[in-house]
Amino acid sequence: MSLKDRITDDMKAAMRAKEADRLSTIRMLLAACKQKEVDERVELDDAAVVAIVDKLIKQRKDSIAAFQQAGRTDLADKESAEVAVLAAYLPQRLSADEIVAEVKALVAELGATGPGDMGKVMGAAKARLAGKADMGQVSAAVKQALAQ
């Protein structure tokens, strides 16, 4: 069963259980997937769906920070609930130590030596770790590895 099929099944289950908040979040995710398919005229695979989920979670986290800064805890709580629903569709995330190990292996593989190779390493890291790790953490690990 593909990830998109699982999301559709979860939407149907949320409808039956009358979970309005969960249902609206899942519908928003499916709408984002459909929009991507229509815009690019492609059928999304699991990796593309994970990328969309990642993007939506990043948007929600940015909104949470803005709402908390403005003192709107009600809206921040709603966004946090959406993040929890969306996070269920991501694969298991790598720990910080695993990210550092992967980055060191990539740096050695590519023969990267200094900060000038950041783009080359990040391109390979994005291909290898997309969906498995927060790219902000990966970027920090690459900077640290290339600074040594």
CATH code at 96-147: 1.10.10.410
Q: What is the DSSP letter of 132?
A: T
Q: pLDDT at residue 111 above 90?
A: no
Element (H, E) at 126: helix 118-129
Q: Write down the pTM of the prediction.
A: 0.78
Task: Tell me the pLDDT tens digit for each residue of 64-88.
Answer: 999 999 999 999 999 999 999 999 9
User: What CATH architecture is 3-87?
Assistant: Orthogonal Bundle (1.10)
Where do the domains of the chain lie? Answer: 3-87, 96-147
Matching fold, domains 3-87 and 96-147 = no
Classify residue 111 by its DSSP letter.
T
Task: Mark out the alpha helices in the chain (DSSP H runs).
Answer: 3-16, 20-40, 46-69, 73-87, 96-110, 118-129, 135-147
